[in-house]
């Protein structure tokens, strides 16, 4: 599953990392789009700052055992995150690009379909909210149905049936056979 | 007790009806997963981690190993019939297998692959039986500094050897280590990165990280780029081989494991490199050079045998040293942790029944797989017709089940989604997922070993390198780190020599 292809045409970006002297607003936008990987650097930087702040504000005088306390490793990890963020930024500005992951069902020639991703994330969040009040069988069925719908399945009669069947069978297997409790919800109370 | 009698005891464990059932479930699931696109053995084992809450360890590991081996078998089927490898290990199988299928020799290609997997898996597992107890004996008195050295090796190898960019591998590893820090410090109880939340104080469960990165991340990533047209599988009959084909392939079947097994045991990316090396070796040794690229059967037999043997090699490192060399091994290591079992040299003493039952079940699984795949390959190929919305909706569904089963907390589903989105971003920007998973799984353990080692040496850093074992492991680490530099130097020397000769 790791047959990777470069995203977009591999443009020979200039090795110094400088762009044209006076970038217009449009140029700037395309520059940002081409260098969107810098966002990863920002995230790594932010993560590093969070880890370091948390480690340095730790109050450890109470229970330190041994020469290394609970602070040392987080500090090392935090510094590592900051360093990697800078190194990655240098790499990106020099024209390095992370290759988007390919795969059998993946078509990288089309732009990303954000609507589907957002719909799926929404359906998943709804499941997290619903699972306790309505129980797993209902919430799970809604998750499967909603996800299949978001992914483009439009079999109005078949989809809900498959969703309900899958959810009920899974509930029975986990709850009764494997002994992993899942919330039954009001529906299971009635049955 | 010698290895042989332990193995016989292992068969006693593996052949009980319930464990036979788990082996059968494992190989069936594994073959299906190998055939299905979008879902690999690592994701499958991750999705099945919740069964560790309800199942006793022997059964669970027998099933996981069946999935691992089964996925190798199934992966080559799609490579050959559809030219789309189901697993990264099966990429090479498409190179000669698909042309064979196109020219009407699909049945022979499938048979060469299935028997290759069988031969490779058998030889690999025999080598595992012979070598693993020896490695475990050698390593039996290793202590905290040695464990720490092994984990450093795992970290470095997984970031440097895999993937195209070291810096991105390192970024991924650090993300994993950060996730592993969340929770109470194991030695002092100090809260770290919990932001005062009680739920985060328990730490983020490895199951949630593995499922989030492997399953949710993958499903979302595929959803963003779902291919609307899918290829057509080449129709094919029952796999079989004529005498002439057997004469051409038996040597390839036997050569494959020699390349596959050692590469599986070292952290070099699992089956991808050895299958390719085997392909190159077979091509060089072939007497039918004109057929290569158009469907040379040795090019299917050798690499497939190598790939199954590499799975056995992977198990050697995981069981004897606790060193995961592939994504599947990493997730299996997480399963060991769920049971509170520490894989390593002592595993063969402490959990002898589990280990030998697992190893014996590999032989059983291999026979089951051959019986399942040789006559049924065309049936398995039908799985490819599953509508993609159902496949990826199903992955999301089971991911939710698994994460919820961890602690019965709806909040875990939200954390799962967040980690899934991180996995999505990592796929978009070419950050490999495996280093992050290894970081989460081994990070907390590595920190503990480091602190223990330094406690023993009273804070002196020399305490980390005071055993021959740890020194040799760090030598390997140094070699991996310096490898690109050495290679550059080597090339430079060659070049200057050449120019001198001119």
Rounded mean pLDDT, B426-452: 88
Q: Let me know if residue B135 belongs to a domain.
A: yes
Q: Which residues contact B423 (CB under 8 A, 6 or more apart)?
A: B212, B213, B214, B216, B217, B218, B220, B221, B433
**At which residue do the structure tokens 């091509």 appear?**
B283
Query: Which residue in A37, A143, A149 is closest to B429 by CB distance?
Result: A37
Query: Which residue in A37, A140, A145 is closest to B400 by CB distance?
Result: A140
Q: Which residues on chain A are in Cβ contact (under 8 Å) with B462?
A: none
Q: Which residues on chain A are in Cβ contact (under 8 Å) with B270?
A: none
Percent of chain B with pLDDT over 70: 95
CB pairs under 8 A between A and B: 246
**pLDDT single digits (tens) B16-69:** 898 899 999 999 988 888 888 777 788 888 888 877 777 888 888 899 888 888
Is the sign of the CA dihedral B132, B137, B143, B146 positive or negative? Answer: negative
Rounded mean pLDDT, A97-117: 80
pLDDT value of position B230: 62
Query: Which residue in A4, A151, A177 is closest to B389 by CB distance?
Result: A151
Q: Let me know if residue B53 belongs to a domain.
A: yes
Distance CA B235, CA B378 (A): 8
Number of domains observed in the structure of chain B: 1
**pLDDT band at residue A64 using 50, 70 and 90 as cut-offs:** low
Q: Which residues on chain B are in Cβ contact (under 8 Å) with A84?
A: 167, 170-171, 174
Q: Let me know if residue B499 belongs to a domain.
A: no
**pLDDT single digits (tens) A78-106:** 999 999 999 999 888 888 777 777 777 77
Percent of chain A with pLDDT over 90: 27
Residue B330 has pLDDT above 60, yes or no: yes
Element holding B184 (H helix, E strand): strand B183-184
**pLDDT band at residue A7 using 50, 70 and 90 as cut-offs:** very low
Q: Which residues on chain B are in Cβ contact (under 8 Å) with A125?
A: 414, 417
**B400 in A contact zone (CB under 8 Å):** yes
Both tokens assigned to A130:
């619903």
Q: Which residues on chain A are in Cβ contact (under 8 Å) with B175?
A: 44, 47
| Interchain proximity A121–B220, CB inside 8 Å | yes
Residue A15 has pLDDT above 60, yes or no: no
Q: Which residues on chain B are in Cβ contact (under 8 Å) with A98?
A: 165, 168, 428-431
| Interchain proximity A128–B417, CB inside 8 Å | yes
Distance from CA of A169 to the nearest CA of B (A): 12
Residue B87 has pLDDT above 70, yes or no: no
Q: Let me know if residue B134 belongs to a domain.
A: yes
Residue B417 has pLDDT above 90, yes or no: yes
Distance from CA of B484 to the nearest CA of A (A): 17
**pLDDT band at residue B269 using 50, 70 and 90 as cut-offs:** low
Residue B73 has pLDDT above 90, yes or no: no
Residue A11 has pLDDT above 50, yes or no: no
| Interchain proximity A91–B400, CB inside 8 Å | no
- Please provide the average confidence, as pLDDT, over all residues in chain B: 84
pLDDT value of position A37: 84
Percent of chain B with pLDDT over 90: 12
pLDDT value of position B178: 93
pLDDT value of position B488: 77
**B131 in A contact zone (CB under 8 Å):** no
The beta-carbon contacts of A34-43 under 8 Å, at least 24 apart in sequence, are: A35/A92, A35/A93, A37/A88, A37/A92, A37/A97, A37/A98, A37/B429, A38/A89, A38/A92, A38/A93, A40/A88, A40/A98, A40/B171, A40/B425, A40/B429, A40/B431, A41/A85, A41/A86, A41/A88, A41/A89, A41/A92, A42/A85, A43/B425
**B492 in A contact zone (CB under 8 Å):** no
Strands B191-192 and B183-184: antiparallel
**pLDDT band at residue A132 using 50, 70 and 90 as cut-offs:** confident
pLDDT value of position B347: 85
**pLDDT band at residue A63 using 50, 70 and 90 as cut-offs:** low
Residue B373 has pLDDT above 70, yes or no: yes
Rounded mean pLDDT, B429-440: 88
Q: Let me know if residue B498 belongs to a domain.
A: no
Distance CA B395, CA B43 (A): 9
Residue A13 has pLDDT above 70, yes or no: no
- What's the domain range around B230? 3-491
| Interchain proximity A4–B164, CB inside 8 Å | yes
pLDDT value of position A49: 92
Q: Which residues on chain A are in Cβ contact (under 8 Å) with B74?
A: none
Q: Let me know if residue B500 belongs to a domain.
A: no
| Interchain proximity B393–A153, CB inside 8 Å | yes
Domain boundaries, chain A: 1-108, 114-190
pLDDT value of position B125: 92
**pLDDT band at residue A142 using 50, 70 and 90 as cut-offs:** very high
Q: Let me know if residue B20 belongs to a domain.
A: yes
Q: Let me know if residue B358 belongs to a domain.
A: yes
- Please provide the average confidence, as pLDDT, over all residues in chain A: 79
Both tokens assigned to A3:
């047959």
Q: Which residues on chain B are in Cβ contact (under 8 Å) with A94?
A: none
Lowest mean pLDDT among A88-102, B220-234, B367-381, B471-485: B220-234
Q: If contacts are CB pairs under 8 Å, which of residues 2-61 in chain B contact chain A?
A: 37-38, 40, 50-51, 53-55
| Interchain proximity A153–B389, CB inside 8 Å | yes
**B85 in A contact zone (CB under 8 Å):** yes
């Amino acid at each position: 599953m790791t047959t990777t292809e470069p995203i977009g045409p591999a443009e020979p970006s200039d090795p110094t990392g400088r762009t044209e002297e006076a970038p217009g607003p449009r140029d700037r936008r395309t520059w940002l789009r081409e260098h969107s990987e810098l966002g990863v650097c920002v995230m790594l930087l932010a993560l590093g700052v969070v880890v370091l702040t948390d480690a340095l504000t730790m109050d450890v005088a109470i229970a330190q055992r041994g020469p290394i306390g609970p602070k040392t490793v987080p500090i090392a990890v935090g510094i590592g995150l900051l360093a990697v963020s800078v190194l990655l930024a240098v790499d990106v500005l020099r024209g390095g690009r992370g290759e988007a992951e390919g795969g059998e069902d993946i078509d990288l020639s089309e732009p990303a379909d954000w609507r589907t991703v957002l719909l799926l994330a929404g359906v998943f969040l709804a499941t997290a909210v619903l699972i306790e009040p309505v129980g797993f069988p209902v919430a799970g069925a809604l998750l499967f149905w909603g996800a299949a719908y978001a992914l483009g399945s439009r079999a109005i009669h078949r989809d809900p049936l498959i969703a309900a069947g899958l959810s009920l069978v899974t509930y029975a297997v986990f709850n009764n056979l494997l002994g992993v409790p899942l919330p039954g919800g009001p529906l299971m109370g009635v049955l | 007790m010698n290895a042989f009698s332990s193995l016989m005891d292992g068969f006693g464990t593996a052949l009980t009806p319930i464990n036979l059932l788990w082996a059968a479930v494992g190989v069936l699931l594994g073959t299906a997963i190998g055939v299905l696109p979008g879902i690999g053995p690592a994701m499958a084992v991750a999705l099945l981690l919740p069964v560790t809450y309800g199942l006793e360890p022997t059964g669970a590991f027998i099933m996981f190993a069946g999935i691992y081996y089964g996925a190798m078998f199934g992966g080559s089927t799609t490579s050959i019939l559809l030219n789309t490898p189901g697993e990264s290990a099966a990429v090479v199988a498409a190179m000669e297998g698909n042309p064979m299928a196109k020219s009407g020799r699909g049945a022979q290609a499938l048979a060469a692959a299935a028997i290759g997997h069988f031969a490779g898996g058998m030889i690999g597992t025999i080598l595992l039986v012979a070598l693993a107890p020896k490695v475990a004996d050698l390593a039996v008195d290793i202590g905290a500094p040695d464990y720490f050295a092994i984990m450093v090796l795992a970290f470095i190898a997984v970031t440097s050897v895999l993937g195209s960019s070291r810096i991105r591998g390192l970024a991924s590893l650090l993300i994993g280590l950060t996730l592993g820090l969340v929770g109470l410090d194991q030695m002092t109880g100090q809260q770290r990165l919990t932001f005062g939340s009680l739920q985060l104080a328990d730490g983020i469960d490895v199951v949630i990280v593995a499922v989030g990165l492997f399953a949710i991340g993958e499903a979302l990533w595929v959803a963003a780029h779902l291919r609307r047209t899918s290829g057509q599988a080449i129709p094919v009959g029952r796999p079989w081989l004529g005498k002439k084909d057997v004469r051409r392939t038996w040597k390839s079947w036997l050569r494959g494991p020699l390349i596959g097994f050692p590469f599986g045991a070292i952290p070099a990316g699992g089956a991808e490199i050895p299958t390719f090396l085997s392909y190159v070796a077979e091509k060089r040794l072939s007497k039918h050079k004109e057929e290569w690229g158009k469907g040379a059967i040795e090019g299917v037999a050798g690499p497939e045998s190598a790939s199954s043997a590499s799975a056995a090699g992977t198990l050697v490192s995981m069981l004897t040293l606790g060193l995961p060399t592939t994504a599947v091994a990493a997730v299996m290591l997480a399963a060991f942790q769920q049971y509170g079992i520490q894989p390593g040299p002592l595993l063969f003493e402490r959990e002898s029944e589990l280990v030998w039952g697992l190893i014996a079940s590999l032989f059983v699984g291999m026979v089951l797989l051959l019986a399942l795949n040789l006559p049924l390959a065309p049936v398995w190929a039908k799985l490819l017709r599953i509508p993609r919305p159902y496949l990826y909706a199903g992955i999301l569904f089971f991911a939710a089940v698994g994460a919820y089963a961890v602690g019965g907390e709806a909040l875990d589903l939200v954390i799962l989604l967040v980690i899934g989105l991180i996995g999505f971003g990592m796929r978009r920007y070419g950050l490999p997922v495996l280093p992050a998973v290894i970081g989460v799984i081994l990070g907390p353990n590595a920190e503990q070993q480091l602190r223990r080692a330094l406690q023993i040496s009273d804070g002196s850093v020399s305490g980390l390198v005071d055993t021959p074992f740890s020194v040799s492991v760090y030598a390997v680490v140094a070699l991996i780190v310096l490898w690109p530099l050495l290679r550059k130097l080597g090339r430079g020397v060659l070049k200057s020599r050449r120019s001198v000769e001119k």
